[in-house]
Amino acid sequence: MRIAIAAVGRMKNGPERELVARYLERASGTGKPLALTGFDVFEMSESRAGSAASRKAEEAKAIRAALPDGLLVTLDERGKSITSDAFATQLGRWRDDGRAAIGFVIGGADGIDPDLVRQADLSISFSPMVWPHQLVRIMLAEQLYRATTILSGHPYHRGD
Question: Whole-prediction pTM value?
Answer: 0.93
Annotated binding residue 132: no
Instruction: Give pLDDT, residue 158.
Output: 62
Distance between CA 18 and CA 40 in Å, rounded? 14
| Gap between the Cα atoms of 52 and 58, Å rounded | 10
Pairing of strands 122-124, 2-8: unpaired
pLDDT at 129: 87
**Residues 31-56: tens digit of each pLDDT:** 999 999 999 999 999 999 999 999 99
**pLDDT tens digit string along 106-136?**
999 899 999 999 999 999 999 988 888 899 9
116 labeled part of a ligand binding site: no
* Domains of the chain by start residue, with CATH: 2-152 (3.40.1280.10)
pLDDT at 155: 74
* 70 labeled part of a ligand binding site: no
What pLDDT score was predicted for residue 128? 87
Tell whether 128 is in a known binding site.
yes
**Is 130 assigned a ligand-binding role in the annotation?**
yes
Range of weakest confidence among 3-7, 130-134, 154-158: 154-158
Q: Does 127 carry a binding-site annotation?
A: yes
Sequence-distant (≥ 6) Cβ neighbours of residue 155 within 8 angstroms: 149
Confidence of residue 154 (pLDDT cuts 50, 70, 90): confident
Evaluate if residue 160 carries a pLDDT over 70. Answer: no
Distances from the Cα of 39 to the Cαs of 68, 99, 101, 129, 143, in angstroms? 12, 15, 10, 26, 12
Q: Does residue 54 have a known ligand-binding role?
A: no
% residues pLDDT > 70 (the chain): 98
* 75 among annotated binding-site residues: yes
